[in-house]
Amino acid sequence: MTARQNYGFERRRRDQLRRAKQEEKRLRKTERTEAGVAGPEMGEAPASAAPQGVWEWFSPSRSRTVTTSTGSRPAPEEPDDWILLTETAEESAPES
C-alpha cells in the first residue's frame, strides 16, 4: 500500500517538472522573438563550397576527400573510383 500512496505524488511531481520545462522553453522563445532573433542560439554556417580554381574529389573505397587543381584527376592508383564533387561547366569536365 505504501507504493500506491507515493505514486500519486511522484506523478504530480513529474508533471510539475514537465510544465516548468515547457514554460522555460516558452519564455526563451518569447525573448528571442522580442529580440528579433530566430532559431536556436547558433553561429553562422561556414561556406561549404570548394575555393575557386580547385576541384574536390571523393573516393568511397578510401572514405576520403582530396583537392586537385582544375582539370586534373587524383593519382591513378587502384581502385580508381574518384567522384568529382565540384560542379563544373560541361566543356571543362575531366577526362575519364
Contact, 92 vs 73, CB < 8 A? no
Does residue 1 carry a pLDDT above 60? no
List, for residues 10-50, the tens digit of each pLDDT value: 888 999 999 999 999 999 989 888 887 766 666 777 777 77
Give pLDDT, residue 67.
86
What are 78's three cell numbers? 587502384
Would you say 49 and 25 are in contact if contact means Cβ atoms under 8 Å apart?
Answer: no
Nearest to 84 by CA among 58, 50, 63: 58
pLDDT attached to residue 95: 60
Domain-wise residue ranges, the chain: 1-40, 54-92
> 39-50 as b/e, with b when 16 or more CB fall inside 10 Å?
eeeeeeeeeeee
pTM, two decimals, is 0.44
